[in-house]
């Protein structure tokens, strides 16, 4: 394949993916509408990085050797332009809210780094699998770094212009010790060395804020910093009743990021009242759940409000084994403490197990809709067809038979699902089930129970719970949509039918 043919092919695939991925479309719509922030642009950069990395890995070995560096550079430059363009749009909108008129600065294109990556794809001393790994991991890392480079350049420029800038690096759960060490919020000039750096497969986000307006990365709420000479103010002595009322008010404000209780929708109010009434929850765990619930889709919020009864968790300190929903008692056993520090994403167990509960309370959706399992298997068969470049669509049976004969494909898929383990844990578990445990990423059940997937309806049950949990996190939703687009659409259709 010539360089021109490769560029046309990969650009076409990327455009198709963008058009067919609702989560990516929503991000772009949010950016164009002026409602986005740098966390949204970071999510887009991550989406572009993962998809371009996959395209490069699938195609690189078919491209003429001497054309690979030029193709690599051209495709990365496409993303450099897109990401910097989106960042500039968002930055101007954020600045306008604060009365600032500063032109965003484009970070320099990393010519040397891109050339080094492109040349590494022509190495004939290594196997094709190594070239494919370099194409995927290297492309992902460089694409994500375009966002980091913009943050670095603009924070530096604005700091020199006299603005008070803060740098924030958020480490994704399950990230490496080095990333965890440099994560945090810092005044510009006081940040640790290497805060903008990232290793292969790193999903950390780096953003900045400037001016008297600040934005909390986790709650997405804004506040205004007090003037430096404002003073401490007069002390106020409260009665016991006043102190109790103020404590409740502050806790409500803390959990909702400062949004008044009356401005929450009905589902958010009910959810807030629920977690405030649970004496076993720490304040930090309540905030984790409230933040995730508030970011959830409308149908998922309504389903939770409609079907989840009070006291749905009967045992909140269950550490003997993994969390589970028990149909006989219609209740959940889990550990709040473990979920507060969940390796994949905090709060995942809460929403996953309540997904099982909703499946049951709404009339055993997955058992009574076998077409949902068929959709999961069809998505899986399409993935196998794509990865094996099959000339005709494969049935699920044919896909399983083909996969069983291709151990290298099993290993490649399994390795791929360990790249962003924290984001892909749900996808990994569903993939393990639908593949009969031939594909095993970081998340799964086989390690604990080898016969777990023997009942085929367990596959659709777990998929339902994972897809429900993904409704409360954009990044995990995008991963689910990437691998199981049709079954995710059917899940949302079924959930909407019983909830609204």
**Are 85 and 183 members of one domain?**
yes
Residue 359 has pLDDT above 90, yes or no: yes
What backbone torsions phi and psi does residue 468 show, to the nearest 5 degrees? Answer: -65, -45
Residue 290 has pLDDT above 50, yes or no: yes
Of 212-216, 320-324, 467-471, the range with the lowest mean pLDDT is: 212-216
Residue 226 lies in a domain: no
Pick 84 or 215 by higher pLDDT: 84
SS3 353: helix
SS3 for 55-102 is HHHHHHHHCCHHHHHHHHHHHHHHHHHHHHHHHHHHHHHHHHHCCCCC
Residue 109 lies in a domain: yes
**Are 105 and 118 members of one domain?**
yes
**Are 270 and 204 members of one domain?**
no
Instruction: Show the domain range for 143.
Output: 3-221
Residue 229 lies in a domain: no
pLDDT digits (tens, 9 = 90+) for 244-259: 555 555 555 555 554 4
Residue 380 lies in a domain: yes
**Are 69 and 113 members of one domain?**
yes
Residue 310 has pLDDT above 50, yes or no: yes
User: What pLDDT does residue 22 have?
Assistant: 84
User: What pLDDT does residue 489 have?
Assistant: 96
User: What pLDDT does residue 227 have?
Assistant: 45
At residue 377 the predicted structure's pLDDT band, cuts being 50, 70 and 90, is very high
Of 191-195, 310-314, 396-400, the range with the lowest mean pLDDT is: 191-195
How many Cβ atoms sit within 10 Å of the Cβ of residue 273?
11
User: What pLDDT does residue 200 have?
Assistant: 64
> What whole-number distance in Å separates Cα of residue 325 and Cα of residue 116?
51
What Cα–Cα distance (Å) separates residue 484 from each residue in 117, 424, 457? 31, 12, 17
**Are 399 and 472 members of one domain?**
yes
Report which secondary-structure segment, H or E, holds 458: helix 456-470
Residue 233 lies in a domain: no
How many Cβ atoms sit within 10 Å of the Cβ of residue 452?
18
User: What pLDDT does residue 242 have?
Assistant: 58
How do 331-333 and 313-315 pair as beta strands? parallel
At residue 260 the predicted structure's pLDDT band, cuts being 50, 70 and 90, is very low
Q: Taking all residues of the chain, what is their mean pLDDT, rounded to a whole number?
A: 84
User: What pLDDT does residue 275 have?
Assistant: 92
Mean pLDDT of 330-334: 94
Residue 118 has pLDDT above 60, yes or no: yes
Last residue of some domain: 334, 362, 390? 362
Pick 187 or 225 by higher pLDDT: 187
Domain tally, the chain: 3
H-state helical runs in 21-37:
22-32
> What whole-number distance in Å separates Cα of residue 187 and Cα of residue 165?
6
**Are 76 and 196 members of one domain?**
yes
User: What pLDDT does residue 244 have?
Assistant: 56
Mean pLDDT of 323-346: 91
**Are 216 and 265 members of one domain?**
no
**Which has the closest alpha carbon to 38: 195, 215, 202?**
215
Last residue of some domain: 221, 252, 281? 221
User: What pLDDT does residue 251 have?
Assistant: 56
Residue 134 has pLDDT above 70, yes or no: yes
**Are 323 and 207 members of one domain?**
no
Q: List the strands of the sheet with 313-315, edge to edge.
A: 313-315, 331-333, 324-326
User: What pLDDT does residue 52 have?
Assistant: 94
Residue 104 lies in a domain: yes
Q: Which two tokens stand for residue 136?
A: 């995927």
Residue 227 lies in a domain: no
**Are 154 and 274 members of one domain?**
no
**Are 270 and 305 members of one domain?**
yes
pLDDT digits (tens, 9 = 90+) for 203-220: 677 777 775 443 333 333
> What whole-number distance in Å separates Cα of residue 59 and Cα of residue 136?
10
Mean pLDDT of 313-336: 91
How do 205-210 and 324-326 pair as beta strands? unpaired
In percent, the amount of the chain with pLDDT more than 70 equals 86
At residue 434 the predicted structure's pLDDT band, cuts being 50, 70 and 90, is very high
Mean pLDDT of 226-246: 50
User: What pLDDT does residue 100 have?
Assistant: 76
How do 205-210 and 165-170 pair as beta strands? antiparallel
H-state helical runs in 261-393:
266-277, 283-294, 298-307, 336-340, 348-361, 365-368, 370-388
User: What pLDDT does residue 176 have?
Assistant: 65
Last residue of some domain: 175, 194, 221? 221
**Are 46 and 149 members of one domain?**
yes
**Are 55 and 172 members of one domain?**
yes
**Placement of tokens 């986000």 in the chain:** 205
CB 142 within 8 A of CB 132: no
Residue 337 has pLDDT above 80, yes or no: yes
């Amino acid at each position: 394949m010539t360089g021109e043919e490769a560029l046309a092919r990969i650009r076409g695939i990327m455009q198709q993916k963008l058009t067919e991925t609702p989560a990516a479309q929503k991000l772009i719509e949010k950016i164009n509408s002026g409602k986005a922030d740098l966390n949204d642009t970071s999510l887009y950069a991550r989406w572009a990085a993962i998809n371009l990395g996959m395209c490069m890995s699938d195609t690189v070995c078919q491209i003429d050797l001497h054309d690979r560096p030029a193709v690599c550079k051209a495709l990365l430059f496409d993303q450099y332009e897109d990401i910097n363009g989106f960042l500039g749009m968002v930055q101007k909108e954020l600045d306008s809210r604060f009365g600032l008129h500063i032109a965003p600065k484009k970070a320099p294109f990393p010519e040397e780094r891109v050339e080094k990556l492109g040349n590494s794809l022509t190495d004939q001393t290594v196997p094709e699998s190594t070239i494919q790994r370099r194409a995927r991991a290297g492309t992902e890392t460089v694409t994500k770094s375009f966002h980091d480079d913009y943050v670095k350049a603009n924070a530096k420029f604005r700091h020199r212009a006299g603005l008070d800038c803060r740098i924030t690096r958020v480490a994704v759960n399950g990230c490496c010790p080095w990333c965890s060490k440099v994560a945090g919020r810092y005044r510009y000039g006081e940040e640790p060395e290497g805060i903008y750096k990232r290793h292969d497969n790193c999903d950390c986000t780096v953003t900045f804020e400037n001016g008297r307006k600040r934005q909390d990365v986790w709650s997405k709420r804004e506040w205004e910093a007090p003037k430096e000479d404002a003073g401490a103010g007069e002390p106020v002595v409260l009665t016991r009743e006043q102190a109790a009322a103020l404590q409740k008010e502050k806790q409500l404000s803390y959990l909702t990021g400062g949004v008044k209780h009356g401005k929450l929708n009905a589902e958010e109010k009910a959810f807030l009242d629920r977690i405030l009434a649970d004496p076993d929850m720490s304040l930090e765990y309540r905030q984790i759940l409230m933040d995730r619930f508030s970011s959830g889709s409308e149908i998922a919020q309504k389903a939770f409000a409609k079907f989840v009864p009070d006291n749905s968790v009967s045992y909140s300190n269950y550490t003997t084994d993994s969390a589970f929903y028990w149909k006989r008692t219609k209740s959940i056993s889990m550990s709040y403490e473990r979920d507060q520090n969940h390796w994949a994403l905090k709060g995942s167990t809460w929403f996953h197990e309540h997904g099982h509960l909703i499946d049951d309370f709404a009339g055993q959706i997955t058992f009574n809709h076998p077409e949902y399992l068929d959709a999961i298997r069809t998505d899986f068969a399409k993935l196998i067809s794509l990865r094996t470049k099959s000339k005709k669509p494969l049935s699920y049976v044919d896909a399983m038979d083909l996969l069983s004969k291709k151990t290298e494909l099993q290993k490649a898929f399994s390795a791929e699902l360990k790249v962003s383990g924290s984001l892909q844990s749900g996808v990994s578990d569903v993939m393990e089930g639908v593949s009969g445990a031939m594909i095993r990423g970081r998340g799964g059940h086989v390690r604990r129970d080898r016969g777990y997937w023997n009942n085929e309806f367990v596959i659709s049950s777990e998929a339902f719970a994972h897809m429900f949990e993904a409704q409360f996190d954009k990044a995990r939703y995008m991963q689910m949509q990437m691998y199981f687009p049709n079954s995710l659409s059917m899940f949302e259709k079924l959930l909407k039918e019983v909830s609204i």
